[in-house]
């Protein structure tokens, strides 16, 4: 069964800056603690990364997965879905960016994950917290 999570955060940086960081996939290992390696496998006709392979820490081990990105609602929504993965059946998600009243950006991070092997509830909750940390790490990067 797929698990869903969502978090909204306000970042003290312009939406354009947040979008730029969110789309610089090859730089994720610089700021996203659990992302260890990134390889852009395909680009779209505008040169944007279309399929991106990740190696990340997950549940005490290394995992590999490839995401396909959807820029159809750019620069307000950056969405993705999993093309292949080793311990996940599904990874679907999106960053929803909107201008905040203070000149910053409100970011809603939505994520749906389904693992190949079911996990106990406490392990899932711990994994969810780590995954949602990504949006806080994005905030730290954009505000630096």
pLDDT given at position 123:
55
pLDDT given at position 11:
97
If you count them, how many residues does the chain have? 144
pLDDT given at position 73:
98
Write out pLDDT tens, residues 96-142. Answer: 999 998 889 999 999 988 877 776 565 556 656 666 788 999 999 99
User: How many Å apart are CA 99 and CA 35, to the nearest integer?
Assistant: 27
Give the other-Cβ count within 10 Å of 141's Cβ.
Answer: 20
Please say whether the beta carbons of 35 and 24 come within 8 A.
Answer: no
pLDDT given at position 124:
54
Cβ neighbours for 23, distance < 8 A, ≥ 6 positions apart: 48, 49, 78
User: How many Å apart are CA 35 and CA 137, to the nearest integer?
Assistant: 11
pLDDT given at position 3:
80
How big, in percent rounded to 5, are the helix, strand and coil portions of the chain? 25, 50, 25
Write out pLDDT tens, residues 24-81. Answer: 999 999 999 999 999 999 999 999 999 999 999 876 778 899 999 999 999 999 999 9
pTM of structure = 0.90
Arithmetic mean of pLDDT over the chain? 90
């Amino acid at each position: 069964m797929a698990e869903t999570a969502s978090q909204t955060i306000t970042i003290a940086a312009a939406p354009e800056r947040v979008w730029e960081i969110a789309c610089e996939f090859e730089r994720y290992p610089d700021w996203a603690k659990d992302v260890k390696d990134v390889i852009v496998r395909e680009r779209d006709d505008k040169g944007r990364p279309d399929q991106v392979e990740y190696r990340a820490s997950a549940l005490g081990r290394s995992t590999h997965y490839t995401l396909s990105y959807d820029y159809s609602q750019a620069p307000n929504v950056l969405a993705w879905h999993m093309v292949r993965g080793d311990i996940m059946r599904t990874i679907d998600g999106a960053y929803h960016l909107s201008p905040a009243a203070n000149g910053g950006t409100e970011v809603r991070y939505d994520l749906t994950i389904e693992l190949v092997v079911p996990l106990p509830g406490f392990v899932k909750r711990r994994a969810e917290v780590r995954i949602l940390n990504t949006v806080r790490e994005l905030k730290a990067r954009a505000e630096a």
